[in-house]
Structure 1
Amino acid sequence: MRWVMPAETAPQERIWMAFPPGGYALGDTSEEAHAARSCWAAVANAAVEFEPVTMIVAPGDEEVAAQYLSPEVEVRTAPLDDAWMRDIGPTFVVGKADDGGTRLGAVDWVFNGWGAQDWASWGKDSLIGTAVAGLAGAERVGSKLVNEGGAIHVDGEGTVLVTETVQLDPHRNPGLSKADVEAELARTIGATHVIWLPRGLARDAERFGTRGHVDIVATIPRPGTLLVHRQNNPEHPDFAITAEIIEFLHTTRDAAGRAWNIIEVTAPETTTDAEGWVDYSYINHLVLNGGVIACSFDDPMDATAQQILADAYPGRRVVSVDARELYARGGGIHCITQQQPLLP
Structure 2
Amino acid sequence: MNSSGTVSWPAETEPHERLWLAFPTGGYTLGETDADAHEARRMWADVAAAAADFEPVTVVVDPSQVEVASTYLRDDIETVVAPLDDAWMRDMGPTWVRADSGGLNAVDWVFNGWGAPAWATWGKDSLIAQTVAATAGTPVMTSLLVNEGGAIHGDGQGTVLVTETVQLDKGRNPYATKARVEAELARTLGARKVIWLPRGLTRDYEEFGTRGHVDMVATIPSPGTLLLHAQPDSRHPDHLVMRELKEFLEEQTDASGRRFEIVELPAPSVLTDDEGPVDYNYVNHVVVNGGVIACAFGDAEADDRAAGILADAYPGRRVVSLDARPLFARGGGIHCITQQQPATR
With the length of structure 1 as denominator, give the TM-score of the two structures.
Answer: 0.98
User: What SS does structure 2 have at the residue aligned with 1:325?
Assistant: helix
AA in 1 matched with 2:83 = P
Q: Which position in structure 2 is the counterpart of 1:180?
A: 180
1:47 maps onto 2:51 in alignment: yes
Q: Which position in structure 1 is the counterpart of 2:31?
A: 27
1:150 maps onto 2:154 in alignment: no
Distance in 2, matches of 1:257 and 1:65, equals 47
AA in 2 matched with 1:94 = R
The alpha-carbon deviation at position 3 of structure 1 amounts to 1.6
Q: Percent of aligned pairs with the same residue?
A: 64
Q: Which position in structure 2 is the counterpart of 1:251?
A: 251
Q: Which position in structure 2 is the counterpart of 1:11?
A: 15
Distance in 2, matches of 1:247 and 1:119, equals 35
The alpha-carbon deviation at position 2 of structure 1 amounts to 1.1
Q: Which position in structure 2 is the counterpart of 1:298?
A: 298
AA in 2 matched with 1:105 = N
1:120 maps onto 2:120 in alignment: yes
User: What SS does structure 1 have at the residue aligned with 2:227?
Assistant: strand
AA in 2 matched with 1:64 = V
- The alignment of Structure 1 onto Structure 2 pairs a total of residues equal to 340
The alpha-carbon deviation at position 60 of structure 1 amounts to 2.6
5 Å-filtered alignment, 1:20-169, equals 20-96=24-100, 101-169=101-169
Deviations 1:56-79 (A, max 9, x none): 000031111111111011011000
User: What SS does structure 2 have at the residue aligned with 1:60?
Assistant: helix
Distance in 2, matches of 1:301 and 1:4, equals 36
Unaligned runs of at least 5 residues, structure 2: none
The alpha-carbon deviation at position 90 of structure 1 amounts to 0.6
Distance in 1, matches of 2:14 and 2:131, equals 24
The alpha-carbon deviation at position 104 of structure 1 amounts to 1.1
User: What SS does structure 1 have at the residue aligned with 2:220?
Assistant: strand
RMSD: 0.7
Distance in 2, matches of 1:125 and 1:218, equals 26
User: What SS does structure 2 have at the residue aligned with 1:200?
Assistant: coil
Distance in 1, matches of 2:135 and 2:9, equals 19
Deviations 1:141-173 (A, max 9, x none): 000000000000100000000000000001100
Misfit runs of 4+, over 3 Å: none
Distance in 2, matches of 1:339 and 1:276, equals 32
User: What SS does structure 2 have at the residue aligned with 1:109?
Assistant: strand
Q: Which position in structure 2 is the counterpart of 1:278?
A: 278
User: What SS does structure 2 have at the residue aligned with 1:292?
Assistant: strand
User: What SS does structure 1 have at the residue aligned with 2:199?
Assistant: coil
AA in 1 matched with 2:215 = D
AA in 2 matched with 1:18 = A
Q: Which position in structure 2 is the counterpart of 1:193?
A: 193
User: What SS does structure 2 have at the residue aligned with 1:234?
Assistant: coil
User: What SS does structure 1 have at the residue aligned with 2:326?
Assistant: helix
Q: Which position in structure 1 is the counterpart of 2:319?
A: 318
5 Å-filtered alignment, 1:210-225, equals 210-225=210-225
User: What SS does structure 2 have at the residue aligned with 1:180?
Assistant: helix
Deviations 1:229-262 (A, max 9, x none): 0101111110110001000000100110011100
User: What SS does structure 1 have at the residue aligned with 2:118?
Assistant: coil
User: What SS does structure 2 have at the residue aligned with 1:50?
Assistant: coil
Q: Which position in structure 1 is the counterpart of 2:241?
A: 241
Distance in 1, matches of 2:242 and 2:102, equals 39
Deviations 1:30-69 (A, max 9, x none): 0000000000000000000000000000003111111111
Distance in 2, matches of 1:315 and 1:199, equals 33
User: What SS does structure 1 have at the residue aligned with 2:105?
Assistant: strand
With the length of structure 2 as denominator, give the TM-score of the two structures.
Answer: 0.98
